[in-house]
Amino acid sequence: MTKVLVIGAKGQLGQSFQYWAPHFPHFEFFFKDLPEFNLLDQAQLERYFKTTPTDIVINCAAYTAVDQAEDEPKMAQQLNAVAVDSLCQLSKIFGFKLIHFSTDYVFDGSAHSPYGEDDTLSPLGVYGKTKAEGEAVILAAGIDGWIIRTSWLFSPYGKNFVKTIFSLLQNKDEINVVADQTGSPTYAIDLAAATLKVLEQKPVFDGVKVYHYTNSGHTTWYGLALAIQQQINTPCQIRVVDTANYPTKAKRPKYSVLGCEKIKKEFNLNPQVWESALKDCLKKIG
């Protein structure tokens, strides 16, 4: 039986893997998170892998607070790059394959068509820069694994845009939402399912491959907020604002749609449109 360790088990993606675990009986899952599994404690990690045989490590742990990262660059780098380097070194010693998740924010958003896996990285803020650094660490490490970039993650778990807007729409008379940033919303439950379906196909791991995975279609944050409102039918008014009139600490890419043809073709995946995924998510939240 394939032994799969999921790190960052309490986050929204980690919880999405937990949601699917009973449906994949060929895998034996181990779910770990702080405090008993600290990615910054090398000795603790070594003890774990010495005593627990592991075939695949799925790393869902990351520093994802985009604006806060501008104030805490060292902490963001520790989690998004230094911890990843530790996992790479342990992969060499203990022979496990590493699956690591990255982000559309490694791109600057100046494109007008979907980004490919091989497009040049040019992140705008600390979060994107540290995620790009983590990718570089894996690519240089000489291990077997995957980097899966995704975007605009939402789910019934943790903190995310969909849950925040869902709550605000029911408690406010009006809200402001940015309408000039475009991306593909991704349902964490779909991303977890796709990852496990691909692993079930027993793929050949040979070096590091980069993939993109999002739900189909794209929209703006305003379009996503509007779609939530249509589902739950509240009188709250959603006002359109431009990024320039809604300043944040971190700069965000204007256009960060990821092209997903590579993973779809290689593993015969057909991601559902984001609108359908949103409906499912809102049912689970509501």
Q: Is 3 exposed, middle or buried (0-12, 13-18, 19+ CB in 10 A)?
A: middle
Query: Rounded to whole angstroms, how far apart are CA atoms 260 and 216?
Result: 9
158: left (phi over 0), alpha (psi -120 to 50) or beta: left
Active site residue 127: yes
Please pick, among 127, 157, 211, 222, the residue that the annotation labels catalytic.
127
- Reported in sequence order, the residue ranges of 66-125 that DSSP labels E, i.e. its strands, are 97-103
Q: What phi and psi, each to the nearest 5 degrees, are found at residue 26?
A: -80, -10
CB atoms < 10 A from the CB of 36, how many? 8
Distances (CA, A) of 179 to 115, 160, 161, 182, 231: 20, 17, 14, 8, 19
**Which residues form the catalytic set?**
127
